[in-house]
Amino acid sequence: MSELKPRLPIQDDDSFDDESDLMQEDRFAERSKFGRKRRRGKKRRLTLAVLPTLLTLGNGVCGLAAIAIAVSTESLDWTPESKLFAAGLLIFGGMLFDALDGSAARLTGQASQFGAELDSLCDAVTFGVAPAVIVWRISDVLLQRLTWGIGVLFALCVLIRLARFNVETPEDDDHEGFEGLPSPAAAGTIAAFAIAIPDLADFSVGEAYPEWIHSMAGLALDASHYVIPTLALVLAFLMVSRYEYPHVFAQLVRGRRAPHQIGQALFAVVGLFLLHWVALPVVFCYFAFMSPIRSLLQRNSKPATSASSVEGG
């Protein structure tokens, strides 16, 4: 019975040597290919754009510093208003770094996927978490659960906004505008109110100001405990909306300014001169709400225009 089974062909020593040589050559080829991949990967890591990366990391450092100052208690012997003021200024510093890193990458031809991903991560910290912490710390009138929920919702909408921007924005985008309120503008609006609070406190008790300014500043301070969390909810919605917003920094860099934009800039400068930091919330709220208001007005005016044209026909 054993002879009925097929026999394996007898191989001589030379065939075994040939096979072993082939196996060694294959292993050598795999090792050399892996080595080339490692060398190529190491080369890519060493040729990262230094200046844009440092600017992007500066954005992240500003966000982390803003969070650290806002949540500090006895470790930092400042008044709560001073802590919020410093946190707001650091968010504005992050906005400056965020505006410069993309421009530096494009001007030097060093834009990369790594830079885009790193930019989104730093934006999530500076424009998502840091404003949420300010919302938590700025109001001691509302329930803590409510302010925590509003802050978390604001941060989550920032994450959604950044993810949608990364997915939907093509590589050849002209960067002239955005769909939805940009996260730096939303965070800047919250930071502007935090920066304005010390000036409001000064207006409410300063001897150089008349009584009606004292009353208005005191009312504004009392209302800020309710207005800022509510504003954070509205800003969170605007970030995930589809309203069109202009890219102000890109238009300024490229020198494209309409006459009404020059008038708006002059209005902002005069407001800063007269109202000091209190003018910042006005400027940022104007930018955040003018596009939705304009879109709603245009949408409501279209039916009236179409109806008048039908009657005229």
- Report strand pairing: 177-179 vs 244-246: antiparallel
- Phi/psi at 47 (nearest 5 deg)? -105, 30
Which residues of the chain are modeled with pLDDT < 70? 1-48, 171-176, 248-275, 302-313
Q: Is 249 helix (H, G, I), strand (E, B) or coil?
A: helix
Work out the number of other CB atoms within 10 angstroms of the CB of residue 84. Answer: 25
Domain 49-291: top CATH class:
mainly alpha
* pLDDT score recorded for residue 58: 96
The pLDDT assigned to 207 comes to 76
The pLDDT value given to residue 2: 42
For the chain, which residues make up each domain, given as ranges? 49-291
Q: How many CA atoms lie within 13 A of 177 on its CB side?
A: 9
Q: What is the pLDDT of residue 97?
A: 95
pTM score of the predicted model: 0.75
